[in-house]
Amino acid sequence: MTATKLVIGASGFLGSHVTRQLVAAGEDVRVMLRRSSSTKGIDDLAVERCYGDVFDDAALRVDYRLLEGDLDTFEGSWTFLDGDGRTSVKLGIEYDFGVPTLAELIGPTLHKKVRENAEMMLLALKRQAEGAARRTEGVSALRDQPHVEPDAGVERDHDVSA
């Protein structure tokens, strides 16, 4: 038996098309709608309807959690952030496979890889800063040298006729 698919926003343009495709594929579908939503795009579909609103307008955030499935925990949020004339989405996920030894197996390797990556980034930043410092020292040394124009004192004939 396959898990019931939940479509949030099924009354919208994209959501109604996704819902229609899932039903056509033989999936059991549950839709979440706002009571104020028009459902004309899905009225002819055999879907389970539930009503609610998971969007927190004040926080520009959508929270979600697993209703059915193999994971012990799967929940999180989408947070919409406005800045610099564009909107970005921050996705937060917390999940648990239900396998307690997995963290013990992955933890040491992950710790080692994160440490190696951090050390490589710091070394690259150090090299970049040292290179910039050498270039700055070189420019300062050139500034301290007497400046002579390349052709100083050389007279040239110029044709200025129009």
Digit-coded pLDDT (tens) for 134-146: 776 665 665 555 5
Looking only at the bridges linking them, the beta strands covering 29-33 and 48-51 are: parallel
Q: Quick check: 32 and 47 in contact, CB under 8 A?
A: no
Pairing mode, strands 61-65 and 73-83? antiparallel
Mean pLDDT over residues 27-47, rounded? 91
| Bridge partner residues of 32 (DSSP) | 8, 50
Report the DSSP beta bridge partners of residue 73: 96
Helix, strand, coil % in the chain, rounded to nearest 5:
35, 25, 40
Q: How many CA atoms lie within 13 A of 25 on its CB side?
A: 12
- What is the predicted pLDDT for the residue at 43? 94
Specify the pLDDT at position 162: 46
Split at pLDDT 50, 70, 90, the class of 46 is very high
pLDDT digits (tens, 9 = 90+) for 78-126: 788 888 888 787 878 777 766 666 666 676 777 787 778 767 877 777 7
